[in-house]
Structure 1
C-alpha cells in the first residue's frame, strides 16, 4: 500500500534484472530486497509479468527493482513466450541501471543472448552490471568466468551467490557507482526558482474532476515539495481566486505555475513581470526530450497558421496518457485537447487515446503524438517513447506545450534552461 510518505515509483531509480529463465533473477532480487517477493522455482518461466519492488538503498535512496521474465522464453502455447519477452522489453525501456545475469558456466552459444542484451543497454547509454548470480555453482567460485565476461562485455562484472548471500553488498556498491550523473540533480523548476533566495511563487491549481476529492494531483504535490525545499515563498489558489491572490501580494510573484487548462485565464491576468509556466510544461523539461517536445509544439503552431489561412488538412493525432483511469466528462486528454485541436486545425483531425503502458509499436499511422506530463513514468521510459517517435519521423509534444501552442502563447511560457540544476 502506498502512503503519502512514500516516494512515487516514477521518482525512484529503476534497476532491472535481465537474464535467461532460471538464471537466478528472482533469487537475486529477493536477496537484495531481503524479502521473498518473487516466486522462486526450478521450473523455467516461473516469472511471467515483471515484478516491481520499491526499497531504500543506503547512499542511493529510493529505488525500485524489476524482476523480469527470461528473455529466452520459447513457450509456444497461445504465444505466451513472445508475450512475456515483450513485457521484458518494456521493462528494459524504463530501466535506469541494468543487471544482466550470466550462467555460472559458459554455454555452447557463448553467451550470445546475454551479450546482445548488454550491447542493447550500452547502445541506449544505460549503465550495465554483469552478474554471475549462482557463482557458488561455478568452478573456483566464478573467478575465471568473471574475467571472461568482463572482457567480453567491457562492463563491471561481479560473481555473487543469492543463496549464501555472498557478494550482495558489492552489488549495492556497484549500483551506487553506476548512478547516472544527473540522478538526484533533476529539478522540476530548475533555475526558474533560486535556492534559498525566497522567490515568491504562485500556484494556480483548479480542483476539478482531474483531482480526486481531498487530494492534490501528483505534479502539484511534487512541485510544491521542491519549492518548499528551495525555501521559496509559496502561495496557492484556484483559478476563480486568482484576482484575490494577486491583490493580496505586496509584489508580483516571480513565477506563476498553473494547470495547463487555465493557461489562457492566467496569462491574461498575470503581472507583466511575472514568469508563467505550467506543471505539465515543467514535467516535459524534467522527464522528456524537451527540445523534441518544443519542436513538436512549434509544429502545432505552424499547422494552426495553415488552418487559419484556409488550408484543409487530415491529421491523425495520438494522445498518450500515463495514467489508466475511467474516462470522465471534461477529461483533458480525451475531451479538452481533441476539442482544442479541432477548433484550431479543423474537422479533419482524428484522435486516438492510449493509456498506461499501451503505446503503439508502429507510429507511422500518426502525424503527431501528444503525451501527458508523465508523472507516473520515469524519465528513461519517456525518453524511450520520444526516441520511438523520432525514429518514426513523427513530431511529439506534451499536454502543456500543446495547449500553449494552440492558445497562441507558446513563446510566452517559461521553461528551465537547466532542468538538472538549482535543486
Structure 2
C-alpha cells in the first residue's frame, strides 16, 4: 500500500480557516501525530501530506493546508498554495470551528469548491463545546454538515464512515484495456531496456498495464524490442501490441500492420484525459513556427539524465521533425503556469 503512487490515490484536501482544527482532524483520522497542533493561529504554514489505506475504500492521500484567513503577506502566498492544492484534489473536507462560524466566509469558500467541481464534506469541529441551540443554528444554514470532536475517537470513527460513503460515490478511473481487447484475448508488451529503465524492475506504467490485463482476464506476453521478431514467430493471434513511445516506429516496422499497435503513453492518455484534445494538439504541431513557445509539463518525479524523455528526447524529436528551432519551457510537479495562453503548444509528460 505504501508504494501506491500519489497519482493513483484519491487526494483529499483538508481546508478551512486558521485554528479550525484541520491538523487535529488529520491526526485523529490517521491516529498519528502527523501535523503540528497548536492554539496559535497559522501553525500550519505549508501543506502536510499523509498517505494511508482508508479501509474499505482504498489508498488515499490526505493534504492538510494553511488556513484561508491568514491576512499577512506570507499568508497570502500560503492561501495561493492552498488554492492550488484544492484544484488538484479529488475531494475536500471543509473544517469549521463551530464557535466561530462565519456564513459569509462559508459561502465564499463553498462557491470556490463548486467552481472547480470538487465534491466536499463540511465538518463542524469542537462539537464538545457547542450547545444545542448553536448546533441548530448552524444546521439550518448548512444542512449536510457533520458535527465532530477531534477529542472523541467515536466521533472520528463515525466521521470516517461518512467520508468513505461519500468517496465511494466518486467515479472510478476507467480501465486501461477494457473495451480494446476481448476477455481471454492476448496482448504483447514490447519493453525496451535502456539507461532510463530502472535496474531489476519495470517502470510503473508497464506494471499497471500488466495488472489491468490480469483484472480483465487477458493473456500477457512480454519481450524486449530486440526479441520482437522471434516472439511474433512463436506466437500468433495477438489482439494488441503495446510498446514504449521511444521505439514505436521500430516496432511498427516489424509488425507490418499485422496487429493493432499502441503505446503505454496513449493508453494512459485515453484513461486519464481526452484523446480528441490530444489529436487537436498533434494536428497543431505542423503549424508551429520558428521559436514557437512550447511548455513541457513534467508531472512524473525522477532525476533527469541525458536521455530524459521530457527535457531531451521530446524537444529533439520535435525540432528534427519540423526543422525549426523551438523555445521550450519546462515545469515540474503539478503546478502549471498561470499564463498558458502564452504557449503555442502544451505537452504533458508523465503523471
TM-score (structure 1 length as normaliser): 0.77
1:221-260 to 2 correspondence within 5 Å?
Answer: 221-249=207-235, 251-260=236-245
Counterpart-to-counterpart distance in 1, 2:110 and 2:258: 51
Structure 2 residue matching 1:190: 3-state secondary structure: coil
Aligned residues: 351
Q: Is the counterpart of residue 297 in structure 1 residue 282 in structure 2?
A: yes
Question: 1:157 and 2:145 equivalent?
Answer: yes
Deviations 1:113-149 (A, max 9, x none): 3322211222222211111021222222853144133
Pair 1:346–1:114, CA change in 2 (3 A):
farther
Whether 1:285 and 2:270 are equivalent positions in the alignment is: yes
Q: Give how far 1:10 is off.
A: 1.3
Cross-structure match for 1:400: none
1:127 equivalent to 2:141? Answer no
How far did 1:178 drift?
A: 2.4
**170-179 or 217-226, which moves further after superposition?**
170-179
Following superposition, the deviation at residue 106 of structure 1 comes to 4.7
Change (3 A) 1:214 1:145: farther
Equivalence map 1:199-238=2 (5 Å): 199-238=185-224
Distance in 1 (CA, whole Å) between partners of 2:29 and 2:42 is 21
State whether residues 257 and 278 of structure 1, in contact with CA within 8 Å, keep that contact through their aligned partners in structure 2. Answer: yes
Corresponding residue number in structure 2 for 1:183: 171
Q: Distance in 1 between matches of 2:18 and 2:299?
A: 30
Equivalent residue of 1:46, what SS? Answer: coil
The answer (yes or no) to whether the contact 2:87–2:116 under 8 Å persists in 1 is no
Question: Larger RCO: Structure 1 or Structure 2 (Cα < 8 Å, ≥ 6 residues apart)?
Answer: 1
* Separation of aligned partners in 1, 2:117 and 2:178: 24
The residue that corresponds to 2:44 in the other structure is 47
> Could you say if the C-alpha distance between residues 320 and 207 of structure 1 is closer, same or farther in structure 2, counting changes exceeding 3 Å?
same
Residues 1:23 and 1:338: Cα distance change in structure 2 (over 3 Å)? same
- 1:273 CA drift (Å): 4.4
Residue 88 of structure 1: aligned partner: 82
The structure 2 residue matched to 1:13, chosen from 10, 17, 24, is 10
Q: Distance in 2 between matches of 1:180 and 1:260?
A: 35
Tell me, in whole angstroms, the C-alpha distance in 1 between the residues paired with 2:39 and 2:79. 19
Give the structure 2 partner of residue 105 of structure 1. Answer: 99
Is the Cα contact below 8 Å between 1:127 and 1:180 reproduced in 2? no
**Residue 31 (1) aligns with residue 28 (2):** yes
- In 2, the alpha carbon distance for the partners of 1:93 and 1:265 equals 40
- State the SS of the aligned residue for 2:233: helix
3-state DSSP of counterpart to 1:192 = coil
Structure 2 unmatched ranges of 5 or more: none
Q: Counterpart of 1:419?
A: none
Q: Is there any run of 5+ residues in structure 1 with no aligned partner, and where?
A: 305-311, 375-423
Q: Does residue 366 of structure 1 match 2:343?
A: yes
* Aligned CA distance change for structure 1 residues 211 and 182 (closer, same or farther; 3 Å): farther
What is the DSSP-based 3-state SS (H/G/I as helix, E as strand, rest coil) of the residue aligned with 1:274? coil
- The answer for the alignment partner of 1:168 in structure 2 is 156
Instruction: Label 1:48 to 1:350 Cα distance change in 2 as closer, same or farther (>3 A).
Output: same
**In structure 2, do the counterparts of structure 1 residues 163 and 67 end up closer, same or farther at CA, with 3 Å as the change threshold?**
same
Q: Which residue of structure 1 aligns with residue 328 of structure 2?
A: 351
Q: Please report the TM-score for the alignment, with normalisation by the length of structure 2.
A: 0.92
Residues 181/256 of structure 1: CA separation in 2 closer, same or farther (3 Å cut): farther
d(CA) in 2 for partners of 1:63, 1:349: 40
Q: CA RMSD in A?
A: 2.1
Which residues in structure 2 correspond to 1:255-266 (within 5 Å)?
Answer: 255-266=240-251
Runs of 4+ aligned residues of structure 1 deviating over 6 Å after TM superposition are none
Q: Give how far 1:173 is off.
A: 2.8
